[in-house]
């Protein structure tokens, strides 16, 4: 009898054990809790700049390797076409409008380290939740989400106040002003106006003084002295900020300490790479989150001598190839430390390439492939469709391509759920967990609608009609390209969100991206039988979306954007702010 029970039990258990042994590695490793997470984010990289997305002249073997060993997303969408709002959405999983990180004016990004705007302290980043789950969290590279609120040392917007245990990098963003040999980039047109106004005021005072001396003008010396004082005060007011951009904005920090002011660009790349590798090596025995936020490929395209002249696309191509090499160096460390199978790696860009960025005949911005438009353009695909690659050997399939709408905001719930955290219940989270889609457990993205803003202005919206496979996109506002027939706003340097530089469409321009991803041929009621139905469907979705929005303080208001001396990070006694604590402790080369 015992033998019979044993035989029966064995006959039941044996197929079960055999079945478990035959399960693919994906099922075995899917029970891994709290994987390490490495997030790579490029700056201003166009989707057409990467080999695995169709570029056959810029060499990106390491990024391509991620795609070969993992999952490539072909419709990965940024929540905004500029750095500050896009990264705010990435960190919070929410449209930047919800946190006040989209602009009501033409100042659409954080403009000064000494400004008071930034990612609000009450926003919960994925880093904060992972930190609470026991992760070591580090941000290396670009922040661009603000620093201080009311005093120089309150650090209310600083990475360490938003869930990162460790920060090394730029609290601002790389700009051409950081390179003394380059033409100044920041607020270039406004600076020209200020300088011209100063010259006109000075010329008027000089003319009045000469007229007084020759008796042609009857004006008192007291009045002329007051006017001269006003002119000097006007000059000091604007030159104290714009005249020292390199010292105020081009700085490096380690945690709360300013280590380079101004930054020494020749060694920035090597320091960022060394810090990234060091963070992994220090934290390899516990779960960690590393957000490597590249300064590449933003102007002035700081590139080491090793990579200069290597690309057929000039300095921009050299810079992209160097970034790819940095990706490879970090991946090699992950492999060397035996962390490959327990680490989720993600690569993306914050938005599309900057088409208008040129100096003479040099093209310094990226390429967006077949997609129309680029950086700063709220609706056109070229400004918001970016590379999106995930790798996690054994858990995610290798070489898979997913042609479904996804968002940079999806990283938030994806990594929070992987870490065992709980999404905030007191606010709207616009991102969706991507793991079921990446693993092939579901066929379609959870996103039915995505909304595309330019500042606070809704420019376009898309509807994923899952039963038919159509991806409808309606444009309500588009920028006016100059010169006419060009593909960007070359006359301005940036396309505007509102005013005379845009066109409002009623009815909206409609495209089916599944058939026309380049947005070349708008549909109409005459050419598309579903035109009215689709427009009404998207319109209702926009109304529902707007009902979920609540008023919040505007972080990019004029008051928050302007430079405030009392908020300026400084490594000395203000205004004597210069140091080089990363070198030989001597002042930086002035």
**Is the distance from CB of 126 to CB of 162 less than 8 angstroms?**
no
3-state secondary structure 342-387: HEEEEEEECCCCCCCCEECCEECCCCCCCCCCCCCCCCCHHHHEEE
Alpha carbon 22 to its chain's center: 43
Tokens of 107: 């100042």
Return the SS3 of 424: coil
Tokens of 526: 């005459």
Catalytic residue, chosen from 52, 83, 495, 571, is: 83
What is the spatial distance between Cα 436 and Cα 431, in angstroms, rounded to a whole number?
Answer: 14
Catalytic residue, chosen from 144, 158, 271, 452, is: 144
Alpha carbon 103 to its chain's center: 15
Q: At what angle do helices 61-69 and 314-336 cross, to 10 degrees?
A: 50
**Is the distance from CB of 149 to CB of 300 less than 8 angstroms?**
no
What is the spatial distance between Cα 140 and Cα 163, in angstroms, rounded to a whole number?
Answer: 13
**Is the distance from CB of 530 to CB of 474 less than 8 angstroms?**
no
What are the E-state strand segments in 5-143? 36-42, 71-77, 136-142
Return the SS3 of 285: coil
Give the residues across from 7 on adjacent strands. Answer: none
Determine whether 351 is an active site residue. Answer: no
Determine whether 464 is an active site residue. Answer: no
């492939």: which residue's tokens? 369
Alpha carbon 426 to its chain's center: 25
Q: What is the torsion angle, in degrees rounded to the nearest 10, for the CA atoms of residue 40, residue 45, residue 46 and residue 47?
A: -10
343-349 and 385-391 beta bridge pairing: antiparallel
The H or E element spanning position 502 is strand 502-512
Give the catalytic positions in this structure.
83, 144
């Amino acid at each position: 009898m015992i033998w019979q029970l044993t035989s029966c039990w064995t006959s039941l258990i044996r197929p079960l054990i055999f079945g478990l042994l035959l399960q693919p590695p994906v099922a075995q490793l899917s029970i891994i809790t709290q994987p390490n997470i490495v997030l790579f984010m490029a700056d201003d990289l166009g989707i057409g700049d990467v080999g695995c997305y169709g570029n056959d002249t810029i060499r990106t073997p390491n990024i391509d390797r991620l795609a070969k060993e993992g999952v490539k997303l072909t419709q990965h969408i940024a929540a905004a076409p500029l750095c500050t709002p896009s990264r705010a959405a990435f960190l919070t999983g929410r449209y930047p409008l919800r946190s006040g990180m989209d602009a009501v004016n033409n100042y659409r990004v954080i403009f000064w380290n000494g400004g008071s705007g930034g990612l609000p302290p009450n926003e919960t980043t994925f880093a904060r939740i992972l930190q609470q789950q026991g992760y070591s969290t580090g941000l290396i590279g670009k922040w661009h989400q603000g620093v201080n609120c009311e005093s120089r040392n309150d650090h209310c917007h600083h990475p360490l106040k938003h869930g990162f245990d460790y920060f090394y990098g730029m609290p601002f963003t790389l700009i051409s002003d950081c390179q003394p040999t380059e033409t100044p980039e920041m607020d270039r047109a406004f600076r020209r106006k200020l300088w011209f106004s100063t010259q006109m005021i000075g010329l008027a005072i000089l003319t009045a003084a000469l007229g007084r001396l020759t008796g042609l003008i009857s004006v008192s010396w007291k009045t002329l002295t007051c006017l001269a004082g006003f002119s000097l005060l006007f000059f000091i007011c604007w030159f104290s900020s714009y005249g020292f951009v390199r010292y105020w904005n081009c700085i490096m920090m380690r945690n709360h300490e300013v280590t380079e002011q101004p930054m020494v660009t020749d060694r920035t790349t090597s320091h960022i790479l060394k810090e990234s590798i060091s963070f992994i090596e220090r934290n390899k025995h516990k779960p960690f989150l590393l957000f490597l936020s590249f300064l590449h490929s933003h102007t002035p395209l700081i590139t080491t001598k090793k990579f200069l002249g290597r690309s057929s696309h000039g300095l921009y191509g050299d810079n992209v190839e160097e970034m790819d090499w940095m990706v490879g160096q970090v991946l090699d460390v992950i492999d060397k430390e035996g962390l490959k199978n327990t680490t989720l790696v993600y690569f993306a860009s914050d938005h599309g390439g900057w088409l208008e960025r040129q100096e003479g005949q040099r093209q310094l911005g990226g390429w967006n492939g077949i997609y129309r438009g680029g950086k700063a353009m709220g609706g056109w695909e070229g400004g918001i469709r970016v590379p999106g690659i995930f790798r996690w050997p054994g858990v995610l399939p290798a070489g898979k391509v997913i042609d479904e709408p996804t968002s940079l905001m999806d990283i938030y719930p994806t990594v929070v759920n992987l870490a065992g955290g709980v999404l905030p219940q007191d606010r709207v989270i616009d991102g969706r967990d991507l793991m079921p889609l990446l693993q092939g457990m579901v066929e379609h993205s959870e996103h039915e609608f995505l909304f595309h803003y330019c500042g606070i202005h809704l420019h376009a919206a898309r509807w994923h009609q899952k039963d038919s496979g159509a991806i409808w996109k309606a444009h309500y506002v588009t920028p006016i390209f100059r010169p006419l027939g060009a593909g960007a706003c070359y006359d301005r340097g940036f396309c505007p969100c509102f005013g005379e530089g845009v066109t409002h469409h009623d009815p909206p321009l409609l495209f089916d991206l599944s058939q026309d991803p380049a947005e070349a041929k708008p549909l109409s009621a005459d050419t598309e039988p579903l035109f009215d139905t689709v427009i009404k469907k998207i319109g209702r979705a926009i109304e529902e979306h707007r009902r979920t929005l609540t008023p919040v303080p505007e972080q990019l208001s004029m008051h928050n954007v302007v430079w405030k001396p009392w908020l300026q990070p400084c490594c000395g006694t203000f205004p004597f702010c210069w140091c080089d604590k990363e070198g030989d402790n001597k002042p930086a080369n002035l």
